[in-house]
Structure 1
Amino acid sequence: MANARSQAGFTYFGVLFLVTLAGLALASFATVASFERQRERESELLFVGHQFREAIRLYYESSPGGAKRYPPNLQALLEDPRTPRARRHLRRIYDDPVTGKAEWGVMQAPGGGVMGVHSLSTQGPLKTAGFDAADEAFMGSRSYADWKFAHVPTKEDERSTNRSSGVRN
């Protein structure tokens, strides 16, 4: 009888050990899954940000006349009213993958209009290095709000604009 009792205690501790081990494995899996989900959101944010940057660039570059203009708001990227036949530079206003909302921080251009967007999330990114050349300013960022997707005209763009409008450099 004493032997059966000690075996029951041993079995109890064995089951307790297995339950603890299973709990630790689940916690570890949840942590890995959370990091993987954040990496997916980062990747999606980079894709969506590039879509906005490219749409703003196309709007800017297709300005009629000599003066280049930024869109007055994000809605203008959906249907550019400046030409007789409306152009769509962006299919839709994407949701911010990090916040899950269709709200973006807007970067105002010096002469007016929207020159870029950024996430409103203050969460720290996992990715802090290894960006493409267009995104190298993101290196070392402390939050997703620091990832600014803007179209900044190059000096060559400005020279060609000035030449077409008759201004000399």
Structure 2
Amino acid sequence: MRAGSRCSTRAAAGGFTYVLVLLLVALMGLGLAVAGPRWSDAAQREREDELLRIGSLYAQAITRYHEASPGSLKQYPPSLDSLLQDTRYVGTRRHLRKLYTDPMQPGQPFALVRGADGGIRGVHSTSEAQPLHSSLPPMDGVADMPPASKYSQWIFLAKPQP
């Protein structure tokens, strides 16, 4: 055998490995392209669940604040801080443990829904993104919500007892 023929065999084998690596990279890219939307949907579903949980907590806290109003005149909280520390009583009364941010807009606070008296009646997200679910199941302490086409239409209103 000649030395030149051995060199060409190595070059051919190196080319085959290169094609195999390119094929492997293409298959990995295809797999990630298929898995990407599923991961994105799963992350959005988790944020939606968190939005429902936190929105429900706010609505229930506002309801408790309203129902615990001293006297016959029931009031809604003037600010979200009033839910953390209700100063209408001698002792400290807390309706909410902490203020939560909007899970659909990380770092952003919830938008407030105010009543005619200026008190807070509920909260909603500021996100204009489309939800995975348009209609929601009934939640304890939250007024019923109509179907929505964006998260900002999910309004978590207090549902005081009649």
Instruction: Tell me the distance in 2 between the aligned counterparts of 1:151 and 1:62.
Output: 13
> Is 2:137 the counterpart of 1:132?
yes
Instruction: Tell me the distance in 2 between the aligned counterparts of 1:112 and 1:66.
Output: 18
Higher helix share: 1
Aligned to 1:149: 156
Instruction: Tell me the distance in 2 between the aligned counterparts of 1:127 and 1:81.
Output: 39
Unpaired runs of 5+ residues, structure 2, are none
TM-score in terms of structure 1 length: 0.79
**Structure 1 residue aligned with 2:45, among 39, 45, 51?**
39
Structure 1 residue 27, shift from structure 2 partner: 2.1
Instruction: Tell me the distance in 2 between the aligned counterparts of 1:125 and 1:43.
Output: 11
Q: 1:100 to 1:138 in 2, by over 3 A?
A: farther
Instruction: Tell me the distance in 2 between the aligned counterparts of 1:152 and 1:109.
Output: 13
Listed one character per residue, the Cα deviations across residues 10-54 of structure 1 (whole Å, up to 9, x for unaligned) are 665444333211101112222211111111100001000011000
Unpaired runs of 5+ residues, structure 1, are 158-169
TM-score in terms of structure 2 length: 0.82
Listed one character per residue, the Cα deviations across residues 94-141 of structure 1 (whole Å, up to 9, x for unaligned) are 111111124111000123200000011111111223x222475252x1
% same residue: 39
Contact (CA 8 Å) 1:118, 1:149: kept in 2 or not?
A: yes
Q: Say how many residue pairs are matched.
A: 152
Q: 1:88 to 1:16 in 2, by over 3 A?
A: same
Contact (CA 8 Å) 2:67, 2:160: kept in 1 or not?
A: no
Larger Rg: 2
Structure 1 residue 9, shift from structure 2 partner: 6.0
Aligned to 1:78: 84
